[in-house]
């Protein structure tokens, strides 16, 4: 009996991962319900118009997408990856143009309004980047030692990064960086290239943050004011300048309170959940609107779960993600070729970055960024992309070694 024959009896699909994904989807629908139904507006809508149900529809569409993605070999998809990549770049450019890109009162131009659907190209651009990157990096390892290839790979990552940051959506842009780096590492790009890159990116990043937080105004690199405020909140810095007048100081403090409100309330939600939580739909933070109703079902869905289900709930969510991620890595290990391995690793890193940043901002490990929690946060683009990414991984698994 060989390993090969054993695999014959195994499922075509990675079942454990799918079970974890299913669990996350159930939790997502439940807590979107909990986060939104305490509001008068939402609970008065017809059931099929309510957000939790719409999320379920997105899940269904996403599962459809998984089936579609799995029905074609990932090699075929990789062949089309540059077309997809450039298509998405085009969308990212288009979204920056007023009248095409919509702001939806958020101050950032991130959406293209289609009938029935607000399309968010940055989400899809992440998948496109993983696919294109994997395809580009799956060339023989010897070629990866060439600097021009290295710089091309960097360029592949930098182009969507710059466009997404331009929206502005710094959080979404930033998750491209670890994803790209890990894919390069696994592909076999010489370590010294990567370490140098990491060092440079790291030093520039630290200098940049320090500049924003500590430097006098005319020394600062210009970024959006709200992004700077988030950094100040994260580092616990006073908003008011040292030489500010009393009036300015008060205005600054008020602004500070407003800007730190979400992150403070998220922390209170998570912390007050305790070990077991208040119980499903019993969370006070959302029903009393301390957790703003626009954010609770979205980027801050984790705080709702943590408040209502406590540490046990948080760890359950964390465990489900761990299952998805590590089974993803196993898929990478079992992949038939480097392309498959890179796709799997790319998807795993992308998902992990989202999970880490999103949960991290709820407990103030990282500054607040508008990054959704895969599968749990409400949002069509996010759900579709997460499921397509998982579909790609399953696709790799289906065509794994010796199958």
What is the smallest separation between the CB atom of 320 and other proteins, expressed in angstroms? 11
The kind and range of the H/E element at 332 are helix 301-334
For residues 370 and 169, the answer to whether their CB atoms sit within 8 Å is: yes
If DSSP codes are grouped into helix, strand and coil, which group holds residue 119? strand
Q: Which of 345, 375, 390, 396 binds other proteins (CB under 8 A)?
A: 345
Non-local CB neighbours of 42 within 8 Å, separated by 6+ positions: 36, 50, 51, 293
Q: Are 62 and 388 in contact (CB under 8 A)?
A: yes
Cα angle value 371/364/316 (rounded, 5°): 70
Q: How many residues bind other proteins (CB under 8 A)?
A: 54
Work out how close the CB of 359 gets to other proteins at its nearest, in angstroms, rounded to a whole number. Answer: 5
Binding mask 258-297 for other proteins (x = CB under 8 A): x--------xxxxxxxxx--------xx-xxxx-------
Using CB under 8 A as the binding rule, the residues of this chain from 151 to 210 that contact other proteins are 182, 185-186, 188
**Going by DSSP bridges, is the β-strand pair 101-102/111-114 parallel, antiparallel, or unpaired?**
antiparallel
Between residues 156 and 359, which has the closer beta carbon with respect to other proteins? 359
Q: Which residues contact 175 (CB under 8 A, 6 or more apart)?
A: 126, 350, 353, 354, 357, 371
Contacting residue, 179, 260, 349, 386, with other proteins by CB under 8 A: 349
Nearest CA to 129 out of 95, 166, 167, 163 is that of 163
Does 224 bind other proteins (CB under 8 A)? Our answer is no
Cβ 4 to other proteins shortest distance, Å? 19
Name the residue nearer to other proteins (CB basis): 97 or 221: 97
Residues in contact with other proteins by the rule CB under 8 A: 16, 99-100, 113-115, 182, 185-186, 188, 254, 258, 267-275, 284-285, 287-290, 306, 310-311, 314-315, 318, 321-323, 325-327, 329-330, 332-333, 341, 345, 348-349, 352, 355-356, 359-360, 363, 365
């Amino acid at each position: 009996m060989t390993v090969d024959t054993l695999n014959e009896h195994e499922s075509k699909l990675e079942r454990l991962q799918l079970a974890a994904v299913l669990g996350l989807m159930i939790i997502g629908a439940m807590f979107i319900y909990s986060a939104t139904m305490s509001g008068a507006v939402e609970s008065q809508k017809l059931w099929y118009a309510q957000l939790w149900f719409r999320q379920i529809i997105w899940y269904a569409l996403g599962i459809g997408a998984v089936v579609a993605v799995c029905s074609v070999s990932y090699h075929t998809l990789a062949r089309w990856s540059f077309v997809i990549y450039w298509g998405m770049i085009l969308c990212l450019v288009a979204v920056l143009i007023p009248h095409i890109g919509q702001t939806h009162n958020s101050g950032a131009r991130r959406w293209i309004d289609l009938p029935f659907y607000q399309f968010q190209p940055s989400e899809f651009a992440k998948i496109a980047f993983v696919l294109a990157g994997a395809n580009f990096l799956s060339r023989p390892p010897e070629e990866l030692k060439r600097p021009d290839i290295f710089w091309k790979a960097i360029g592949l990552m930098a182009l969507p990064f710059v466009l997404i940051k331009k929206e502005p959506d710094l959080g979404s842009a930033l998750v491209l960086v670890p994803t790209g780096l890990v894919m390069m590492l696994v592909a076999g790009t010489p370590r010294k290239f990567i370490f140098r890159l990491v060092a440079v990116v790291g030093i520039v990043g630290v200098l940049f943050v320090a500049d924003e937080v500590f430097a006098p105004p005319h020394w600062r690199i210009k970024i959006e004011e709200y992004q700077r405020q988030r950094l100040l909140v994260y580092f616990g810095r006073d908003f008011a300048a040292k030489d500010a007048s009393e009036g300015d100081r008060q205005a600054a403090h008020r602004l500070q309170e407003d800007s730190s409100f979400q992150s403070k309330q998220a922390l209170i939600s998570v912390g007050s959940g305790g070990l077991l939580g208040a119980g499903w739909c019993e969370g006070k933070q959302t029903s009393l609107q301390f957790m703003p109703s626009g954010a609770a079902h979205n980027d801050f869905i984790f705080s709702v779960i943590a408040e209502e289900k406590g540490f046990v709930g948080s760890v359950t969510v964390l465990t489900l993600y761990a299952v998805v991620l590590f089974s993803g890595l196993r898929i990478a290990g079992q992949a038939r070729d480097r392309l498959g391995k890179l796709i799997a690793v790319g998807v795993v890193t992308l998902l992990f970055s989202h999970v880490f940043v999103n949960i991290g901002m709820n407990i103030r490990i990282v500054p607040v960024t508008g990054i959704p929690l895969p599968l749990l946060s409400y949002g069509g683009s996010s759900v579709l992309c997460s499921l397509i990414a998982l579909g790609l991984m399953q696709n790799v698994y289906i065509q794994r070694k010796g199958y």
